[in-house]
Amino acid sequence: MKAIEVTDAGFAYEKGLPVIRNLSLSIEEGESVGLIGANGCGKSTLMKMLSGLIGHEGSIRICGTEVEKKNLAQIRKQLGYVFQDSDSQLFMPTVFDDMAFAPRNYGMGKEDVEKAVDEALERTGITHLKYKQNYKMSGGEKRMACIATILAMRPEIVLMDEPSITLDPYNRRTLIRNLNDMKETKLIASHDLDMILETCERVILMDGSGIRADGDAEHILKDKALLEECHLELPFCLQEYTLKRRK
């Protein structure tokens, strides 16, 4: 069974102006896939469609279950989604409250909730923020809290929308290590192409009209002409300037 299967999917925020059209893709269990493309090409929209936050035309299946209203409770247990905007994700007073919210809702007992929260805090290196009030956190601290919140849910599939945004180099490195350690199926939308290169074996490149390329991460991320056509650039580590400085 595919972890994610999308067939001829479409979505328009405004009638007659589709953002996603006839999009099909499938992701196997355990795959780590980077989702790249210029600002406004539809990466976040696709993630919202996959998680059922917005509707869609066509078919979307998560672990074989169709994404539709009656299945959303089950799908949200299987699929964790780190939003692009941390403030839209954190809605409880403290980090602990946010992290415990979903596990509690799934009927996990008090001790198990504590354990799931503590494990996720430790993995992300933010145990010191456990009882911090959300509105008192910095941008990067909020980012790490959002990631920890999703890890505490122990989902089978993780969607991460710009996970490394606002992170300092140390926390970005922790994130990359976590991503590489995770056995879960991952779809990671990002403009941090160096992180994508380090964490994904496959890349899906979107442009205004849908999927422009889908294949081996290194192959796509080394294709300067293709990336530039899509308003992107080579990852920093592959740019001539960086390579020259390293010599």
Q: Interface residues with ligand ATP (CB under 6 A)?
A: 13, 19, 37, 39-45, 84
If phi > 0 it is left, if psi is from -120 to 50 it is alpha, else beta; for residue 154 that is left
Residue facing Mg ion at closest CB distance = 44
Distance CA 105, CA 93 (A): 17
| Residue 84 binds Mg ion, judged by CB under 5 A | yes
| Residue 45 binds Mg ion, judged by CB under 5 A | no
C-alpha triplet 114, 119, 120: angle, nearest 5°: 100
Dihedral in degrees, nearest 10, Cα atoms 238, 168, 178, 160: -80
Q: Which two tokens stand for residue 116?
A: 């799931």
- Least separation in angstroms between residue 182's CB and ligand ATP is 22
65 or 166: CB nearest Mg ion:
166
Q: Which two tokens stand for residue 15?
A: 């009638």
83 or 96: CB nearest Mg ion:
83
- The count of C-alpha atoms lying within 13 angstroms of the C-alpha of 22, restricted to the half-sphere facing its C-beta, is 2
44 or 174: CB nearest Mg ion:
44
Residue 39 binding: pick among Mg ion, ligand ATP, none (C-beta 5-8 Å cut-off by kind): ligand ATP
Q: Residue 242: helix, strand or coil by DSSP?
A: helix
| Residue 44 binds Mg ion, judged by CB under 5 A | yes
156 or 214: CB nearest ligand ATP:
214
**CB under 5 A: which stretch of 23-31, 82-90, 135-143, 233-241 binds Mg ion?**
82-90
